[in-house]
Structure 1
């Protein structure tokens, strides 16, 4: 373990630590963030009314819409002069979500990522290669920084084709691969095409992030690459990757509950559920300085297991992510809201929004957005090059704004 004094802490001691940190966070949020002061005042509550962890259920939840409405800096609890990093990600409205970090926040996140890597079996003797899509640029930066903080040798993500990535993996003797499940599956197809075998690589393990890992996909990757797999859970609004991590026992994600307090709520009633029951994961930050969040609704459906793990850690464990409470879906590990698709099309086409449909498809392991556009009078052209140019512009626009690969198919509009 990286920090056994916290990762294997006695449950009673952990709850006392959580309560102390929760009360400090609520006091800071109430004093420094107008949004939270207004919210608590509307419910007739003060930070000192939260005397036990279970009292947290009296507080209202925070949503992604709340973050968008307070764009850009309305949720910051410190002056801008104390912010050393500002990160944005697409929101569910036309405004992005903006998260700020102080120097202590970044130091905390490096330590939590070191926990993740240690639990995954990564050491300072490893060579870690990153192959992550552009849409996960924030995660890519954080995960690389965490590996460097651990002391491992890092091969940064690069704009190479997958054959070149495999050449680097072989020649540089990569021992740990950090990527998404989708890309890992695609690498298997490229290896087959190149007639490259796992025996020619020095790869020992992979950390797969940003998307759920079904058991059959896990077996496919483990057997195809002849490696051990670790996984992690995170969301950009709550500092990103490393919020929870797997261990050698592979019995769920160990949640960093000394720094973040998890709850499982009934999606319909909003009431807290008992351990083991499936519902929406709601997270309260306990130690982040710049961007405190109180009962942030993740949208992910999962469960909590408070029982100690065979690995010796006592941190509560997240179960598998079973789905979403909202319309957000994943394309190769990148979260997309349906409203973003229509908004991007409308922006690109000068305010015109044609009829469209979409879905997520897979080819050679890689996921992409399959977008069908109905060609109406405003889009119609009798020149093939013009229509091809339209498809190219849509693909490029979605890659630039969402970081996802898109395959565009033009459909003829039915004549009534």
Structure 2
């Protein structure tokens, strides 16, 4: 093994046992969400719990897995977005420096893709007079699309794992770098097939101009989440003859979050998902299946339950949402600006590695103020559904656990990377996420 790609010696998530549990457990959870909340049956877990109905499917699961129509639509969606990601105009930006000293360039065109999608939706809305057959079809086949996305995640991550053994990497646009050896993920090169397949062996897999990791992070799953939410609102409008304030509030807040990610994709280039993690089943399933089909649970609940919040509660949730989103954006923007040399007045620790650890303003309050804002914003989505079903609060619990795990992973890596400098940093910024609490 070359010095560029040292062997990984530590396995996360409890090793192979934990990896297998997540690999098969989370897909079952997505299917369970559908069975617990759908047009024919729903439970609050505490009442109306009918195991027979939960285990009953309208179609045999094998028939769903082999549904040619759903496979066709899903592949058209995935491949169509991949083509748009490559051909629509944007601008190029360099990512962080890699272990070999090179930097990848990325085509940033979220504005073009979002505009294209909105134009198509608006055109269909006008031509069908609001009776959008595509959204009706999507809503009526949520289970089928859930299953197909899971199977596709298995297949695609397997292909990417095998692709990682092809030694030559895709040439980097706008770069004179002549290094050809692929860079493997620091945490995904154990030599164990199952673990490396799950974590991701290659750091930045690319097919020509398409960066697979960035594309999957922000395109198919995020935009499908948007369409699922719209399909739920459309279903409520068809069945109730109106759209409730809770559904409007939820769609507005989640749409802001989705478009913020898509339109500000250059901010993702410095995130752990892109800079550190390989692209394996963990990210593939998370991006393509978990995001759209678990994050849309609240909208699916509201499509079947008429929840009216009223003006006072709506405003209260909105204020919490605006405040938390501001914390999330302001802290992220500040760190990004500092890294680009735009805020040299902020205090920092100069490390022996030559990098800087920010210890001022938002980043002097806690080590991850953006995590706090992100989590509080997710809580507003749950609150918009009321308190009729605990399943609606799944996302906030899951996301809190995810952010906590990410913080702990980051801390371990930083402690190894910076040594004594990290100890100095922790003395100046002792709180990890929540000031004066944790």
Q: TM-score range by the shorter chain?
A: under 0.3
TM-score normalised per structure 1? 0.24
TM-score normalised per structure 2? 0.23
Q: Report the structure, 1 or 2, having the larger strand content.
A: 1
Q: Report the structure, 1 or 2, having the larger helix content.
A: 2
